[in-house]
Structure 1
């Protein structure tokens, strides 16, 4: 869809059912177009974009031109593409007053507004609308006429008149007539199908919608719309969204016309699945503590998306690695912090970025009290205890040797109890008692 909205101006000659004809699309989606709206014309048809021939006021104007351009001059424009022929006519009016109608097929039951617009910012005090020669509303403070809901009798030629009260221009001004055609809904069995089935598609993938008619004969024309705005997305029985974006979700329907009647399909709900990046850690949950020296591996995956997917790892907001797996190995306290991965997908040679998914943050806290640290502490404690015991033994042996090295006179006699010592002189006390 390329994000661009354009409006189809109905082909004057309808091709066979399903056949593609050259279409001329205009943005903004109003007819007649006015150059002060900065109008863009786009030619759609078979062949290459460089093979477009443009015609202005019935004369060849631009050979081998681009498929689109911005209008700077008023006039009648057509384009030609080899293989699909000449497009319908688009009129760009540069008049001072225009009455504009939405440039899309108008169906019974639609809500339509006609708007009366002045080229310059003039002071308008009165607005009148006409269908044919019949005046619909004498005075209207607004410059829009609402036809809601549309009926077949609303078809006809409309014009507007305004009373301009300004120093430059004063008096009545009248627009050129514009034709409003209300189409009857009489075809039956218009339905929309999707590929992939279910109209659920991943961001950046391709979605193809197909419009089919169960009952209806003659040449058919197809238009595609989204929601209730009636904005045209494409023509033909198929609508291809090559790279869907997250804003492409919504209800899509097709309108089929045989030239006399128009029928609209039941809306099909299209859901664009936005990718979500997930981070897992081995071992453990998303937010937890690990021990220094543990082997930690982070893995990133995408729930929805198409290959090739590029993964980028961030540590505390800074890029550290790429790839779906981040091997931290035996970690240290410096590995603490937040981790997250960014998943991106690029398709096509133009490097168009389809999606960018950011995973939740993973909080990793590395603690130094690992089993290895505990084992070292236990072994160190045992070694210190052994050294203390060894020092105690050495100290005991040293004291024993000192005691053994004392003089004999300093030691008490052996074999004789101290209680048997006499109380005589010192020499007597040192002699043992005689036994009579």
Structure 2
């Protein structure tokens, strides 16, 4: 039976029967030396199967229903599952690598075969990375890293930190990837570098290796504290310098290109003075790469506070028409000067000019309208100060005038007043007929005693600052006595005559007016009353009316309005009588009766003539 089975298997193998082919997985199996491998079939378990396994056509094990035969070299290393035909191989070695085949005959006569490959590997171990140099200079040095390990069928993978290293212009992988060469290293090639070695059954990563790469200095930067455009004299400043460098850079300082004695990353400027203004820079130096780099300059501008501002005039007594300069000065760092007049920005006119960077305000020439308060504000970015100057322009005298009488009589007092526009106030000298000095004040007062004092009175005004003079002439006539004036009787006669004339005119007009009025009234009353009743007018019958005209002329010598007031002189009356009927015997009212009926304003003082008409 065993012989027949073997013959059947061999014949089936060489005949290439396809029935039942593929009972083993198509993929090969990998195993590490000393490990266990199981060749698992895909058959459903059955009893009483005939199974035969071979390795490179050498028998491993054969079985039948009653016995099994195992090759000596596999004794104790294999186990066969007779129900499925699967084979377990233990403690594999490199010599176990090869082709494995199985043939199975089922009790029902089915015939199955299968084949697969087993590859046995030595596991990876002892992975180590070494560098041919560890002290490198950026851009100047190259380095080779070698990866050594134990195992079989090894592959290599390099890692820089966590990133895979691949070949490039600067990176070379040789000896199957076991050697990594970096040409012209950079600071980014410092690592850590690791070598990962692997085969189908294991992988091991080396310990990290770091490269010491010197680089820099780069990004040299100067930082001030505090940072500002201008610094006040006497303040403190700290300048800090930094750079990207390995090893750490050394620093030295420069002012306007000149090397300072200070060393180190910080420069302290205490109680800074004006002569310390300038361009500061720091230079970083790497004593391994032997390279240097200088920072961008930082400008330190030291300013002195503005103090002691003043405005001074080129003359103590400015005179209209002369040239005058106002000079604005101050201690400290002057940036700007701003001129103002009377609290407002100064507007230059045609006689003004600013020069010397606004330091001098020049008047050419000075005018009297230039008087006022001038201020100059001096400033810089850290301070300011202001000074004021009151400009009093001395001018004149101008517009000299004399006021007073031009006609005077003997024994009367002459009073003449002289005035002039002048700063300061002018002094005055009076002369008579241009020769005799008679007074030194603005007012000339004297009693005229001689007719010969007629003539030209001259007032000379003088400004003691401008040293200018100007005169005015006043002509005076002296007469012996005033002409006689009209007496009281003369005036009364004139008034009476005027009253008579005006009264007559007024009476005539009034008579005509009343006559027309009474005629109309008589016609209206004819049918309503009997008899010729009339009014009682102090003894006059009803058909008679008596009117008094108090006539006065008002004439004001200056043409102004005239007001009436109580009179002290009796009035002259013009009697106007209007008869509307036959005259009756009667008498005129007395003056006292008339005065009781009216209040008569008195004549006003002064030379006034007036007319007053009243109807009673």
TM class, shorter-length: under 0.3
TM-score w.r.t. length of structure 1: 0.26
TM-score w.r.t. length of structure 2: 0.20
More relative contact order, 1 or 2 (CA 8 Å, 6+ apart): 1
